[in-house]
Amino acid sequence: MKKRIVLVFIGLLAAAFLVIIIASFYFYDMAVARTSKDYLADNPDLQSSEVITVVDDPAEWVKEQPFKEIEKVSEDGLTLKAYYLEAPTPTDQTVIIAHGYSGKAKDMGRYARFYHETLSYNVLMPDARGHGESEGHYIGFGWHERKDYLMWIDHILETNGETSVISLHGVSMGASTVMMTSGETLPPQVKAIIADCGYTSAEDVLTYQLERMYNLPSFPIVPATSLLTKIRAGYSFSEASALEQVKKTSVPILFIHGEEDTFVPTDMVYELYEQTNSEKDILLVPYATHGEAYIVDMDQYEQKVSEFLSLYIE
């Protein structure tokens, strides 16, 4: 009898272990692998706010601009692409714009147009690894991308010269990417960072999404998927922490977040702001859901960004 109970117990453990393995591969493919993210289209947390009235199409503006396509090879051998637009008049000021999860560089036309036409900046928009025209079989949630951004910063210095003045501006995963970049050793030419609706860490946002989308607890799925990600992509979810990186930065950061953001909860921006030891400021936009701060209140957004940059860029 005891032997039978032991065998049943072992069988149940084996079955549970198998379920965890299957679940971790499923969530890896869903969240980390370079696959179609069609499930995001129906996510209620990504539905547009009712207060949005902007009807222009920045994609048309992008098509009309003489962007120069640039290719660079990452330190781990991926060919990455970016798109560069010279300012209307010669300037040392350049912004590097980081797009969000499952997006691509040319989705950021609205932000590029603001920097190009209003602030007269040069603009560089990279396709993150695993996105757009860049190579890569996985998404790094900003962690491996931070090293790619060091490469893009070096590219600006090499091509535009040591007098370059560089800002970083990211939205969603792009915001976490530039925050993770902020904790690295950066050249003095990097003067300011704009982080719009970024998450504290990959672990935090995936835990939140697992519970919100599937009503599942984080344990054991998130740790198991994180281990699989470490094996297959070379990083764990806890490593990919914007929160730990902003603790180390000396670069001023402007945090922006929509007050109605339920995809990357607004609570995360308060934690990031509190843990940042450099100069910092924060803009919370009423009624804005995820990634909508700019289009919900364009005037306030542009004014705040312009004023923040003017404090650190002559």
Q: What is the pLDDT of residue 8?
A: 46
**pTM to 2 decimals?**
0.93
Q: Which pLDDT tens digits describe the chain residue by residue (314 residues)?
A: 565 665 444 554 455 556 678 888 898 998 999 998 888 877 887 777 665 655 578 999 999 999 999 999 999 999 999 999 999 999 999 999 999 999 999 999 999 999 999 999 999 999 999 999 999 999 999 999 999 999 999 999 999 999 999 999 999 999 999 999 999 999 999 999 999 999 999 999 999 999 998 888 888 899 999 999 999 999 999 999 999 999 999 999 999 999 999 999 999 999 999 999 999 999 999 999 999 999 999 999 999 999 999 999 97
Kindly give the residue spans of alpha helices, DSSP state H, lying in the chain. Answer: 2-27, 58-64, 109-113, 143-160, 173-182, 202-214, 221-233, 242-246, 267-275, 293-296, 298-312
Among left, alpha and beta (phi > 0; psi -120 to 50; other), residue 77 is: left
Q: List residues bridging with 84 in a β-sheet.
A: 68, 124
Q: Which residues contact 80 (CB under 8 A, 6 or more apart)?
A: 71, 72, 73, 74, 126, 127, 129, 134, 135, 136, 148, 151
Q: What is the pLDDT of residue 9?
A: 46
CA 265/CA 238 separation, integer angstroms: 18
Q: What is the pLDDT of residue 4?
A: 60
Q: What is the pLDDT of residue 13?
A: 47
HSE at residue 53, side-chain half, CA atoms within 13 A, is 3
Q: What is the pLDDT of residue 144?
A: 97
